[in-house]
A and B are shown apart, each in its own frame.
Chain A
Amino acid sequence: MRTRLLVVVSSIGMLLAAAPLWAHHAFSAEFDASRPVKLKGTVTQWELVNPHSWLHIDVKNEDGTVTNWMIEGGSPNALLRLGVTKGSLPPGTEIVVEGYQAKDRGAIAVGKNITFPDGKRMFLGSSAPPDADKK
């Protein structure tokens, strides 16, 4: 499996407005906006737990070693209402994660966007309106 692990260091740039009100914690305190990552790996565990779900994936590094990354996702309640269950993402599933690495520089990231290798977005399938205005 070809692995892409990009840790791009760049200037943080001008901060936009306030932190999102969505989560019960501040993402920007936990994750580093200057460290975007793109990870391709296989699911080893899918923790559908509160307050945030966590996806564990094995990512093969360029030197042949494997790192198990831990990816933060949303609260499970809304997913459950859409019919997503613990069995929806079985171990062995290949996925691609774009996100930001944790500030502790460990193998932890927030999964901004999670897709399957064919580009299909995880969980959403075709539910996105086809005429969505991409601005």
Chain B
Amino acid sequence: MSHRLFASTAAALTALIMGCAQTPASGQTTPTGAKKAWTPPHTPDGQPDLQGYWTNNTLTPLERPKELGAKEFYTEAELADLMKKDQTRVALNEEEGRPTEPGTNADVHYDYTQFALDRGQAKLSWNQRTSMIVGERGTLPPMLPEARKRNADIAAKNRGHELDGPENLSLSSRCIVVNQESVPMLSGGYNNNLQIVQAAGVVAIMNEMNHSVRIVPIDGGPHLSADVHQFRGDSIGHWEGNTLVVDSTNFTARNPFHGSGDKLHVVERFTRVDADTIVYRFTVEDPETWDQPWTAETAWSKVDGPIFEYACHEGNYSLRNTLHGARVADEEAAEKKAGK
């Protein structure tokens, strides 16, 4: 790809633009100014060492809010204010900081704060970016007309049949694959914990959400045959200096990323810029979906282990409840139609 904007020698620049990792309870922050060049430790076989437990939990949106225009970074003072506001938000029974109106679908959920699911209750990886997507625009590029039509056709086909049977429900509802374990690796509502383990010729990334391991060969081998499509694609990696570069292809449109198709191509760059921070930058392209590639960046911060099991099928009564609720609604509609 020609748009690799983040050279392996950019660790110092990255340290300049990335902010800090902060635990709300502690209020401790790391200066966001220039950092001294940091040399990562290496594994016994000579790889830069990314191993350990990390979180990619963040409040930074993928796309920049419109009101921020071309403002790509918050100032340190603005970031401090945001952090303070978020700590007070933790006690509120809200969704993403917005009050929810009783009796609305948005209000139908358990209390995130009560169950420690509010993002502000887990360790957050803060940085000064106003959006993960880099650059002046800070938003996804325009979707191609044929991609809009493709997605509209899929939506139209599904409309009215969403609850016909288990196969109609989302991949995440069925515990097959959830967004957090897909590629690129972005945080979700909870369990945003990751573990990296390295061995000769391979890097493995365990994602707590859905308890899946992403195995990235770094042995110089090729991608799978173009005939093979997988929910998380096929990833192969190599080192560029201290940066792990992972190239992923062989995706399937059945697990789209913001409307992508099976020509999705993702290049991720993992750079450990200090003992507690990995800068995670990725570039996405899909010539059948967007008119240009786009790049985003966020930070992963060190957390304490271990990773807990997320056995999604263990007590997944939701499928039964959802489908049974739909069948009850069907019966009621049929009775109403019959004039009972």
Contacts and interface: CB of A to CB of B under 8 A. Distances in A.
| A and B are interacting partners | yes
Main secondary structure of the interface of B (DSSP, over half): loop
Given A47-B315, A103-B329, A129-B90, A30 B114 contact: no
Interface residues of B, number: 64
B318 A25 contact: yes
A69 interface: no
A62 interface: no
Contacts of A106: 324
B257 interface: no
A32 B327 CA distance: 14
A74 B103 contact: no
Interface string A15-29: 111011111111111
B188 interface: yes
B148 to A, nearest CB: 18
Interface in B296-326: 308-312, 314-319, 321-322, 324-326
Contacts of B105: 12, 15-16, 19, 27-28, 33
A5 B156 CA distance: 40
B295 to A, nearest CB: 22
B309 A16 contact: no
Contact of A24 (B114, B178, B208): B178
B88 interface: yes
Contacts of A20: 95-96, 106, 109, 189
Contacts of B318: 25, 30, 51-52, 72
A18 to B, nearest CB: 8
B86 to A, nearest CB: 11
Interface stretch (B71-79, B167-175, B267-275): B167-175
Contacts of B103: 10-13, 33-34, 36
B102 A36 contact: yes
A29 B163 contact: yes
A32 B93 CA distance: 19
Given A24-B178, A128-B91, A74 B112 contact: yes
B339 to A, nearest CB: 21
Given A52-B315, A78-B122, A135 B92 contact: yes
5 contacts: A17-B106, A29-B162, A49-B315, A72-B317, A82-B121
Closest 3 CB pairs of A and B: A74-B115, A103-B325, A22-B189
